[in-house]
């Protein structure tokens, strides 16, 4: 079942929608495929919990992924891995971010990260 869900989700990849949101500087829910370009230190536990952080290259744009570790399992990524990510894009100039990559909460729709056929949500 996990494999079928992963294959179905990969069909929803739309890097063009990300590119449009990035160039227009609009926040948007996105599903992208990219390559992990750097692992970053986890952010400290603040009001919204600790976050795993890593950079992903999406169509030549470096995007920081902020994955809430209080709400989702750590993703065992390494530089060079291909990932598919569904979450909320925020176009912070010079520091674009995708977050809400975890299961749905009362305040936001769910997101996820896929790596090597496994989905982390």
Q: What is the pLDDT of residues 44-76, one digit of tens each?
A: 876 678 999 999 999 999 999 999 999 999 999
Q: What is the pLDDT of residue 10?
A: 53
Instruction: Print the SS3 string covering 59-93.
Output: CCEEEEEEEECCCCCCCCCCCCCEEEEEEEEECCC
Give whole-number Cα distances, 66 to 3, 4, 11, 23, 79, in Å: 24, 26, 23, 21, 16
- Average per-residue pLDDT for the chain: 88
What mean pLDDT do residues 75-90 have?
Answer: 97
Chain length of the chain:
121
CATH of domain 2-120: 2.40.50.140
Q: Are 30 and 18 within 8 A, CB to CB?
A: yes
* pLDDT value at 37 more than 90: yes
* pLDDT value at 4 more than 90: no
- Poorest-pLDDT segment among 20-34, 37-51, 84-98: 37-51
Q: 82: which 2 tokens? A: 């291909």
Q: What is the pLDDT of residue 47?
A: 67
* pLDDT value at 1 more than 50: no
- The pTM assigned to this predicted structure is 0.86
Q: What is the pLDDT of residue 76?
A: 98
What does the alpha-carbon distance between residue 2 and residue 114 come to, in Å, rounded to a whole number? 11
Per-residue DSSP letter, 92: -
What does the alpha-carbon distance between residue 40 and residue 30 come to, in Å, rounded to a whole number? 22
């Amino acid at each position: 079942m996990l494999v079928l869900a992963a294959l179905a989700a990969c069909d929803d990849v739309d890097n063009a929608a990300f590119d449009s949101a990035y160039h227009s500087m609009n926040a948007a829910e996105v599903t992208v495929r990219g390559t992990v370009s750097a692992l970053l230190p986890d952010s400290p536990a603040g009001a919204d919990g600790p976050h795993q952080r890593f950079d992903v290259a999406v169509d030549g744009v470096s995007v920081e992924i902020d994955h809430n570790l209080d709400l989702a399992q750590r993703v065992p990524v390494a530089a060079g891995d291909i990932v598919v990510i569904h979450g909320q894009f925020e176009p912070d100039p010079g520091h674009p971010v995708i977050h809400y990559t975890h299961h749905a909460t009362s305040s936001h729709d769910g997101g996820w990260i896929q790596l090597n056929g496994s989905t982390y949500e």
